[in-house]
Chains A and B, each alone.
Chain A
Amino acid sequence: MVDYPIVKTTDIKAAVDALKQKFPDAIQDDTRQGYGGIIVDKNHLVEVATALRDDFGFDYLSSATAVDYLGISDHMEMVYHAYRTAGGPALVFKAQTPRDKPEIPSLINVWPGADFQEREAWDLYGIKFPGHPNLKRILLWDGFDGHPMRKDWQEAYYEEDHKPFESRWPGGWVHRAEERNIYGKNVKYPADFDLSKLSDTSEESHYADLGLGVSVQKLADESHIKTDRLVVNMGPHHPSTHGVFRMIVTLNGETIEKLEPVMGYLHRNHEKIGERNTFLHNMPFTDRLDYLSSMGNNLGYALAVEQLLANGARYQPPTYRAECIRVLMVELTRIVNHLWAIGFLLNDLGAFFTPALYAIAEREKILDFFEATAGSRMMCNYMRFGGVFKDLPERIRGEATRVNDLVRDYDTMEFLTELINERLPRSIDELDQYLTDSEIIKSRTVGVGYLSPEMAIAYSAAGPLLRASGVPYDVRRADPYSIYPELDFDVAVRYNGDIYDRYLIRLDEMRESLRILKQILPRLERTRGEAIFAGNKQHTPRVPLGEAYGRVENPKGELGFYVVSAGDEKGPQNPWRYHVRAPSFISLTALGPMCIGHKVADVVAILGSIDIVLGETDR
């Protein structure tokens, strides 16, 4: 049946060659300077994608994003990163479309995980996806003027394409943005704006297909019992939505028939601002993506830009001590995040705040360490391209509470040793002891919110959500980075795919993190005093042209940064495209299917078990 060789190795080139053999007309290499992967003719995109998934084993679509090449080649492009859940590097494929009528066939039938990402590309770039059943805006509201990520779309406070803005430096004495705008606000209206025809259509599409205003009787007749469907809005202001997330739930009695996530309430234009910024400017912005695990975000972005830098001259990879410190920070971050996630999962189950108090008590100790090292409790802005910006301090002192808390003066290594060997294990065991065998927790969580492994892969779920469904996929092992290959740890995996397993897997992962941290401590001792930054600290080398995709196993799942450096090689140093593959955002694709058939009270628990953070979901 198959008339071409099936290649299931980790060798990407062999897969590409075999693919070319099968689709000789549809595929060509991406030969642009610094680019990799293949360009697929958009008319054959669905066939190629199906072959990739079924015959080559690229079953996991990690990221799908758009790029606008206005002024360079005047087309728009969708970039897809597909992986094998068996491990190995990505196969990158792209589809191009003219700017004036952008259309690319939807891949939602091949990888349902493309759903939200294609809606985002429509929302921000205006690319249409024929075949997508629900193509409407996802981050902005219906009725918004234009597609803001296009290169020719300018925001109300637009000043220049690239920072640093001339007016701020070296000129100084600048007018504030509000002064320049006649409304005194961050707003801009189209030239042909007609107030008499003004109508707020932002909510219409959410309710259009819910049977509202059509015929309630018809809906009731279908199900022989004379009941109405009830539409409940949960959020954006709701104590259990982990931020400003909103779900529109259609209920039959108390059973969920349909759930539609609505997001964008924290869409703060990360990517648009990121394209105005210089490369290094973006580092503090990454902190604010998943604000519970800023160190992990830093690492992902640093890896992406380091990949780009590695193509150029004068780049030195991070030193060994820098890598050790990075892993130390990232694994501590994982523990912070999972403690938080477990505490607030209990919140969602109705145990308001008391379990959370216990869970996040030890978090403060880790934040003390972050504060002493990076200068901030949460927004660490700690990593740089080629290392970290500061070595660990000799002693840890609490600056802010020095007067009240005179005992806060420790030797750093002693502090860390005690934290990793005693305090954190004790805290995790305590949670385990109180929660794992609790009758209430078991009856609320076991078997609720089931996600099968096939669905988890298809919906591009990531992190604990994927691994709790029995798929042992961890970027640290599947596509290793930093010094993870030399560290001894296991990929935690659970097989039941329900809320209870997602809780258990977080405990497992924290214990694995502690195993890693225990191996890091002697490495820190051994490398004490060595350089933490490769190359010249005062000077960042020029970022050469090209594209890079850096991904890390963040606590919430696979966090990827797709960074493109294009345009003028000698010109300003800004990313042409800066895209964040946010695990929280993409894992939410599976929320609707997971909730169907459960009771309304389970929705918050299922949402809590995914563990989303809105800074990353909406960006």
Chain B
Amino acid sequence: MPTLDLRELHNTEFPVPDEMQGNIAITSLSRIYNWSRRSSMWPLLFGLACCAIEMIATAAARYDLSRFGMEVMRASPRQSDLMIVSGTVTKKMVVPIVRLYNQMPEPKYVLAMGACASGGGPFKEGYNVVSGIDMYLPVDVYVPGCPPTPQALLHGLIALQKKIDGQSLANFDDVPWYGVGPSEPTPIPILGPDIIDPRQMDLIRQQAELAAAGKPYGVRDLPPTIKPEPAAAPKVPAKTAAPAAEPDDPEKAARLAKREAALARKRTAQGEQPTETPAPAAEPAAGDQAAPKKFDKEAMLAKIRERKAQKES
């Protein structure tokens, strides 16, 4: 835990005498409220799968979660502010998870840790897997990775702290828990022949009627998938050329160019004539100016030394 330095909170518009710097802060209510909330974010002690192991590693000595005031993991939902959904959410497990969430007092936050909790991950197609906890609960921060490294989780937690910093007491949408009456609980799913979201009852009833009438049910009518045929490519520029031309994403452009070239090579290898040359926009010219920054060890070392010298002086 870093020592308390009130300069972090102080609003510089108001002068404070030199000798009291760091001891007195003049700040807004919102700011001190958010600061105290985000510095004692207690997570629910709650592990689902592989990601939980990395969460424990984050709490352990090397990565030391307590630097953020978050090491107090509470086993009771009633004492916790943050639910870290660390792992694959299954249909059987989502029922207790929603119950736990409902038992947490406001203000509460949800962090989806890892690919599974964010969108199903590698197990998405499984019959017992929920494609992401956001199907049932509102998620504040998604942390990608399978599993995310402790660094990534810390980054996600810092992102959550930033989100809290941005909330204002003056704006009711930011702090709805100060409204009248208790907040609405999230409806708890039912385990029937498959999991049932009570919010979808009407839709399920409607589909059951369709099924009873012998009509197709359960599947959405979708336009046919667009296959990128080489001849049709110039006619649908929105799909192929546009992303390549965007200057703010040179990596993607380079990737596309590479793929185009590989496809062309493959076509020639199969004896076909290449129907078109690779799109000019995909040439590396666009990528050059914003080429991905290479890690420069020397420069970084120099920077660190400089900073160290500054500190010492």
Contact = CB atoms under 8 A, between A and B. Distances in A.
A158 B219 CA distance: 12
B90 A200 contact: no
A484 interface: no
B53 interface: yes
Contacts of B125: 155, 157-159, 177, 186, 269, 273, 276
Given A202-B191, A236-B93, A181 B220 contact: yes
A401 interface: yes
A615 B49 contact: yes
Interface in B120-160: 120, 122-131, 135, 146-147, 149, 151
A200 B61 contact: no
Contacts of A159: 125
A188 B205 CA distance: 13
Contacts of A378: 50, 53-54, 147
A200 B190 contact: yes
B194 A144 contact: yes
A411 interface: no
A172 interface: yes
B195 interface: yes
Interface string A316-353: 00000000000000000000000000000000000001
Interface string B64-106: 0000000000010000000000011011110010001000000
Interface stretch (A189-197, A444-452, A467-475): A189-197
Contacts of B60: 356-357, 360-361, 364
B47 interface: yes
Given A181-B218, A236-B93, A268 B225 contact: no
B92 A140 contact: yes
B96 A237 contact: yes
A551 interface: no
Q: Find the residue from B88, B147, B228, B239 having the highest chain A CB count within 10 A.
A: B88
A265 B92 contact: yes
B234 to A, nearest CB: 16
A329 B218 CA distance: 47
B75 A360 contact: no
Given A186-B120, A236-B93, A269 B100 contact: no
User: Interface residue tally of chain B, by bracket?
Assistant: 35 or more
Interface stretch (A56-64, A74-82, A285-293): A285-293
Contacts of A536: none
A284 interface: yes
B277 interface: no
A183 interface: yes
Interface in A352-393: 353, 356-357, 360-361, 364, 377-379
A361 B208 contact: no
Nearest to B45: A239
A192 B211 contact: yes
Contacts of B56: 356, 360
Nearest to B129: A268
A379 B124 contact: no
Interface in B228-249: 228, 239
B154 to A, nearest CB: 11
B294 interface: no
A156 B194 contact: yes
Interface string A138-172: 01110111001000000111110000000100011
Contact of A269 (B129, B226, B295): B129
A198 interface: yes
Given A268-B90, A400-B149, A187 B194 contact: yes
A182 interface: yes
A361 B200 CA distance: 47
A434 interface: no
Contacts of A174: 225
Given A156-B194, A243-B52, A360-B57, A189 B92 contact: no
B201 interface: yes
A267 B195 CA distance: 14
A272 B125 CA distance: 9
Nearest to A190: B193
A379 B50 contact: yes
A177 B126 CA distance: 12
Contacts of A139: 128
Interface in A252-296: 264-270, 272-273, 276, 284-285, 288, 291-292
B217 interface: yes
A247 interface: no
A314 interface: no
B48 interface: yes
A244 B93 contact: yes
A175 interface: yes
Contacts of A236: 93, 96
Across chains A and B, which 5 residue pairs bring their CB atoms closest together, nearest first? A269-B126, A145-B193, A291-B50, A155-B127, A202-B191
Given A198-B190, A266-B48, 20 more contacts: A175-B225, A183-B197, A185-B197, A186-B129, A188-B218, A189-B193, A189-B207, A191-B212, A194-B208, A202-B92, A202-B191, A239-B45, A264-B128, A265-B92, A266-B49, A272-B126, A288-B122, A292-B53, A360-B56, A360-B57
20 contacts: A143-B191, A145-B194, A148-B128, A159-B125, A185-B130, A186-B125, A186-B129, A187-B197, A189-B207, A199-B192, A236-B96, A239-B75, A243-B48, A244-B49, A266-B87, A267-B128, A269-B128, A273-B123, A285-B122, A357-B60
